[in-house]
């Protein structure tokens, strides 16, 4: 079975700080990484491959730095990487990402299953999976927390807000996963060393037979840390001021039924 895992390069959000005076995020010199939930998708793909055989291809679009970031995916067990890179793909919107991924996947043969995270760590709009499925005319199963493949059939359990939904679909299909599905492996040093020698195909947007719309469908007017409007009452005298806090809690209606 040939599995494509779509991944996104993002800044390491654990290291993003906010500039207090301007409320802007400080993004300079922050390491780049794979978006967290994409690692769950990759882990699931590698586990499936171990059972059914076949290959895992990691597919991504982004700036040239992507070549370095993708090593982690290869170290985790992907067999090959297919990348669409260009300097201007650093801050790409969902619609463009879906189009480029679709273009790259269309060039590949015998793709049975496309896996990806339910949303990216940075923007978390959850659009790329459904957009990609629509472009490729594939059925989509989103928010999957467990899955199994039996021949050409996939059974998956979707985790929705209020209930679980068990579904079945014939391959090929696109599946997005939630982080609960598994615990992504941490590659060993030997795997990291070997990752550099795995095949990588680098494409340019012009190599793909598709038309990318001029301009953006979504423009960002500002992107700032929100202003916190809080009362800011601080009881500095410690335990003897506990009644004040208890009073505040009571005013919030807790403890009274």
Partner 1 sequence: MASVLVFSERASLTFELLGKAKELGGQIGLEVAAAAFTPADAEAYLERGTSRVFYSDQAEVKDFEASTYAQALAQIAQKAGASLILLGSTRRGKELAGRLAQKIRAGCLTDVKSLEWKEGKVIGVRNAFGGATEATQVITTQTQVVALMPRAYEPAPEGDKKGEIVTLPLDLTPSRVKVLKRSEKDTGAADIQGAEVLVCVGKGLARQEDLKMIEELAQAMGALVACTKPLATDLKWLPESRIVGLSGKIGRPRLALCLGISGQVQFAVGIREAKTLMAINTDPNAYIFQITDYGMIADLHQAVPQLTAAMKQAG
Size of the site for partner 1 (CB under 8 A): 85
Residues in 2-41 at the binding interface with partner 1, rule: CB under 8 A: 11, 13-14, 16-18, 23-25, 36
Instruction: Candidates 61-69, 77-85, 106-114, 129-137: pick the segment binding partner 1 (CB under 8 A).
Output: 129-137
Asked if 142 touches partner 1 (CB under 8 A), the answer is: yes
| Cβ–Cβ < 8 Å for 85, 62 | yes
Residues in 151-180 at the binding interface with partner 1, rule: CB under 8 A: 155, 159-170, 173, 176, 180
Residues in 220-239 at the binding interface with partner 1, rule: CB under 8 A: 220-226, 228, 230-239
With tokens 């679009």, the residue in question is 61
Q: Pick one of 47, 112, 140, 146: the residue that binds partner 1 (CB under 8 A).
A: 140
Closer to partner 1 by CB, 53 or 255: give it: 255
| Cβ–Cβ < 8 Å for 46, 77 | yes
Closer to partner 1 by CB, 81 or 132: give it: 132
Q: Smallest distance, Å, CB 229 to partner 1?
A: 10
CA angle 59, 60, 64 (to 5 degrees): 130
Cβ partners under 8 Å of residue 55, min gap 6? 2, 3, 49, 79, 80
- Look at residues 91, 122, 63 and name the one whose alpha carbon lies nearest to residue 219: 91
Instruction: Candidates 50-58, 103-111, 119-127, 203-211: pick the segment binding partner 1 (CB under 8 A).
Output: 119-127
For residues 36 to 75, the per-residue mask of contacts with partner 1, x marking binding by CB under 8 A and - elsewhere, is x---------------------------------------
Q: Is the peptide bond before 20 cis (omega within 30 degrees of 0)?
A: no
**Angular region, 80: left φ>0, alpha ψ -120 to 50, beta rest:** beta
Closer to partner 1 by CB, 127 or 191: give it: 127
Instruction: Candidates 40-48, 64-72, 76-84, 121-129: pick the segment binding partner 1 (CB under 8 A).
Output: 121-129
Instruction: Candidates 50-58, 105-113, 137-145, 191-199: pick the segment binding partner 1 (CB under 8 A).
Output: 137-145
How many residues are present in the chain?
257
C-alpha distances out from residue 255 to 16, 87, 134, 248, Å: 37, 57, 50, 11
Output Rg (C-alpha) for the chain, integer angstroms.
22
Cβ partners under 8 Å of residue 139, min gap 6? 133, 169, 173, 174
């Amino acid at each position: 079975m040939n599995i494509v895992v779509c991944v996104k390069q993002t800044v390491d959000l654990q290291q993003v700080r906010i500039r207090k005076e301007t409320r802007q995020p400080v993004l300079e010199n922050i390491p780049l990484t794979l978006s967290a939930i994409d690692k769950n998708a990759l882990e699931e793909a590698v586990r499936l491959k171990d059972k059914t055989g076949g290959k895992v291809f990691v597919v991504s679009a982004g700036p040239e730095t992507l070549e370095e970031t993708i090593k982690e995916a290869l170290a985790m067990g992907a067999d090959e990487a297919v990348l669409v890179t260009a300097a201007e793909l650093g801050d790409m919107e969902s619609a463009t990402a879906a189009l480029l991924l679709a273009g790259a996947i269309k060039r590949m043969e015998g793709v049975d299953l496309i896996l990806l995270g339910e949303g990216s760590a940075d923007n978390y709009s959850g659009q790329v999976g459904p957009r990609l499925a629509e472009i490729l005319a594939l059925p989509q199963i989103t928010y999957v927390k467990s899955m199994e493949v039996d021949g050409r059939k996939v059974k998956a359990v979707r985790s929705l807000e209020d209930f679980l939904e068990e579904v079945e679909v014939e391959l090929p299909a696109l599946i997005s996963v939630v982080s609960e599905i598994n615990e992504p492996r941490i590659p060993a040093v030997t795997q990291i060393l070997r990752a550099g020698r795995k095949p990588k195909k680098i494409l340019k947007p012009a190599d793909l037979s598709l038309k990318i719309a001029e301009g953006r469908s979504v423009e960002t007017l500002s992107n700032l840390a929100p202003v916190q409007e809080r009362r800011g009452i601080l009881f500095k005298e410690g335990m003897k001021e506990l009644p004040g806090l208890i009073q505040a809690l009571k005013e919030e209606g807790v403890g009274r039924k």
